[in-house]
Amino acid sequence: MAYILMVFILLMVAAGQTLLKKGVQAGQARGKSRIASLFHPFVVTSFILVGASPLLYVRVVASLGLSNAFGLNALNYPLIFILSRLFLSEKSNSWHWSGLTLITLGVFIWSL
């Protein structure tokens, strides 16, 4: 159950980071200042998602232990990378893909 909760937390953080960038871009495209962009619905939703994740993370740490739970946080990078490519049309090069592969392999080896 703790691993399922951890996957949910990872998805919350990745979605929150993606929504944050999308909301700030949308606010600035409308000519709003950075302060006004903070109240865009995507930005507010991202604050809620990223803000709620530590509350759930405490429960995961209690169940799995800090060393196991903290290592799984490294999977945020691949999730955010994929979401930014899909929803933000961000570019990547071979170095990004190499880093993504190394991080994912490292988490896999660590979990053995």
Residues 6+ apart with CB under 8 A from 39: none
Q: Cα 98 to the chain's mean position, in Å?
A: 19
Residue range 28-87, pLDDT digits in tens: 777 777 777 788 899 999 999 999 999 999 999 999 888 888 888 888 888 999 999 999
CA 75, 78, 80, 82 torsion: positive or negative? negative
| Total-model pTM | 0.82
Domains of the chain: which residue ranges?
2-111
Listed residue (73, 75, 77) closest to 64, CA to CA: 73
